Amino acid sequence: MSIIASSNWVGQTDPGILIKAGYEFSIEVFQPTTVVLLLGIHPSREHLLMKYDAIETYPEAPGDHFIDTYGNRCSRFRLEPGTTVFRSVGLVRDSGLPDFKQFGARQHPVAELPPDVLPFLYGSRYCDTDLLANDAWNLFGWTTPGFSRVQTICDWVNANVQFGYQFARNTRTASETFQERRGVCRDFAHLSIALCRAMNIPARYVNGYLGDIAIEPNPSPMDFNAWFEAYLDGRWHLFDARHNQPRVGRIPIAKGRDAADVAMITTFGPHILKSFEVWTEQVA
């Protein structure tokens, strides 16, 4: 077994609820292969970890960890032929409150945006803004700029795109979701992001844990989730077109322009995913 953990982690003792979040999956490779994981709880929440979400591997695999261009925690392992199991369990302190919403947050003119925010206005691999610009302005040009405009986009996506795990397709772009009107949570996020960018609102993709906390349990197997953030009033604001209501216990893992920037598992060689399990539950 090998464990990758940050050397400067300090536990947190703030009040609130305690969430157990983690995963276990196994992959088989047929030759020495490097794999990069973006599965560590995001640094913005790292100080709230009561138990650090170190990555364990069976059998032991040498590796290292680093922070990528977008500020995400990454781990790189070198696997020998055969099956390797990856496992991580963290305990995260959370406020227990629903997602915060700043109604009335204003939209910035593009000329006022910080330079490091500008890349989140451009088209990207899955957010083909150029193909949606006319539709975006036709649909949302009448809305009040700012929070209200982003929320109206979420309302439209939620009402017009059918969710279903059977609709998952890892190559689907935002414009294809717009045409097909179906998808999974990442498609809801990509379409919302592309429509926001078309309206000159910077938006970025987020993936993470979102368990059935303070809601009726969903009988479907637990999986990672996707939502997005829009830049308004000098900071990033959370939006979720898939659920389209404030939720409790949301834990971000990685943030980027779209899913291509935050691929959770990247193998540099052929592989087979043998098993996959995710859990997120309130334990205190």
Residue type, 12: Q
Residue type, 279: W
Return the sign of the alpha-carbon dihedral for residues 119, 230, 280, 159: negative
| Residue 180 main-chain phi, psi, to 5 deg | -80, -25
- Written as tens digits, the pLDDT of the chain (284 aa) is 433 333 333 333 446 899 999 999 999 999 999 999 999 999 999 999 999 999 999 999 999 999 999 999 999 999 999 999 999 999 999 999 999 999 999 999 999 999 999 999 999 999 999 999 999 999 999 999 999 999 999 999 999 999 999 999 999 999 999 999 999 999 999 999 999 999 999 999 999 999 999 998 888 888 999 999 999 999 999 999 999 999 999 999 999 999 999 999 999 999 999 999 999 999 99
Give the global pTM: 0.93
Q: In the structure encoding, which two tokens stand for residue 189, read together?
A: 């996020």
If you count them, how many residues does the chain have? 284
Domains and CATH numbers, the chain: 2-96+263-282 (2.60.40.2250), 110-248 (3.10.620.30)
Residue 48: HSE in the Cβ half-sphere, 13 Å Cα cutoff: 22
